[in-house]
Amino acid sequence: MNDSRTKKGKLFIVPTPIGNLKDITLRALDVLKDVDIIATEDTRTCGKLLKLLGLPKKELVSYYDSVETEKSALVLSKLNEGLDVALVSEAGTPLISDPGYKLVRACIEGGFEVIPLPGATAFVPALVGSGLPPNEFKFFGFPPKKKGYKKFLENVVEETSTAIVYVSSHKIKKFINDLSELVVPERRICICREITKFNEQFIRGNISEIVTFVNSSYANLKGEFVVVLEGKRS
């Protein structure tokens, strides 16, 4: 993308679809087509995405949590050579419950231009489709696996603005049941399943109704979930 290799390269933060391929933006397509390198959470997934979008093959750098420090140094060296780099996650917007923060921080401190693109992320459609107040909200990301889970749950419950949590399919039932033990039965909640995908589903109600749903035999608890909880009333 950079014609002159005497100039520093740029880091583009590029969201990718979370389910529906049509959610890719025209600008994202242009960036992915023109950059020299793509730093990606999963090189195989990224390669398939480029093919589906009809984009040319690129040099892919594997970039995930356990190698962030090492790969950030590699990306910075490429930027120093004047090469432009796109950062993408497996799906959605990089850094949002995904790797990339250390790289962005390093680029800023190194004097490189960081250009974030708007695009797909699961919690925004979940929030605006939940029917709960969107003017003030707090995004909590994924619950801790073990250590800190109880405190995490308490923080979600005590939040006075609308609370948003990502929950995996094998934990959604337990998470909702755990919530129900800490909140009043009338508190409103929405669980959003498979955002933008064919089986997208919004289940809205109060906590007691949602507990009944997740514990029922007919509930489909497969896929990725976003939980949107009404803020605690004073």
Q: Which domain holds residue 70?
A: 10-116
Residue 229 has pLDDT above 50, yes or no: yes
Residues 105 and 128 both lie in one domain: no
pLDDT, residue 1, reads 56
Residues 145 and 90 both lie in one domain: no
The string of pLDDT tens digits covering residues 133-169 is 999 999 999 999 889 999 999 999 999 999 999 999 9
Any domain includes 5: no
Final residue in a domain of this structure, among 82, 116, 150: 116
Residues 135 and 192 both lie in one domain: yes
Residues 138 and 92 both lie in one domain: no
The pLDDT of 71-93, averaged and rounded, is 96
pLDDT, residue 3, reads 52
Residues 29 and 101 both lie in one domain: yes
Q: Kindly report the CATH number assigned to the domain that includes residue 102.
A: 3.40.1010.10
Q: Kindly report the CATH number assigned to the domain that includes residue 151.
A: 3.30.950.10
Cα 14 from Cα 150, distance rounded (Å): 34
Of the listed ranges 5-9, 16-20, 23-27, 216-220, the least confidently predicted one is 5-9
pLDDT, residue 4, reads 45
Any domain includes 169: yes
Residues 138 and 112 both lie in one domain: no
Residues 136 and 209 both lie in one domain: yes
Residues 107 and 139 both lie in one domain: no
Any domain includes 190: yes
The CA-atom distances, in angstroms, between 226 and each of 132, 158, 184, 201, 203 are 13, 18, 20, 11, 11
- Runs of H (alpha helix) within 53-200: 68-80, 101-109, 123-130, 149-158, 172-180
The HSE-up count of residue 76 (CA atoms within 13 Å, CB side) is 18
pLDDT, residue 66, reads 85
pLDDT, residue 2, reads 53
Any domain includes 2: no
The string of pLDDT tens digits covering residues 180-197 is 999 999 999 999 999 999
pTM for the whole thing?
A: 0.91
Residues 108 and 128 both lie in one domain: no
pLDDT, residue 65, reads 84
The CA-atom distances, in angstroms, between 187 and each of 62, 109, 135, 136, 177 are 43, 44, 18, 17, 14
Any domain includes 74: yes
Any domain includes 22: yes
pLDDT, residue 234, reads 78
The pLDDT of 203-223, averaged and rounded, is 95
Residue 100 has pLDDT above 90, yes or no: yes
Cα 134 from Cα 163, distance rounded (Å): 10
Final residue in a domain of this structure, among 96, 116, 136: 116
The tokens of 231 are what? 């803020």
Of 210, 187, 190, the C-alpha closest to 201 is 190
Residues 144 and 216 both lie in one domain: yes
Residues 112 and 42 both lie in one domain: yes
Number of domains composing the chain = 2
Given pLDDT bands bounded at 50, 70 and 90, which one contains residue 213?
A: very high
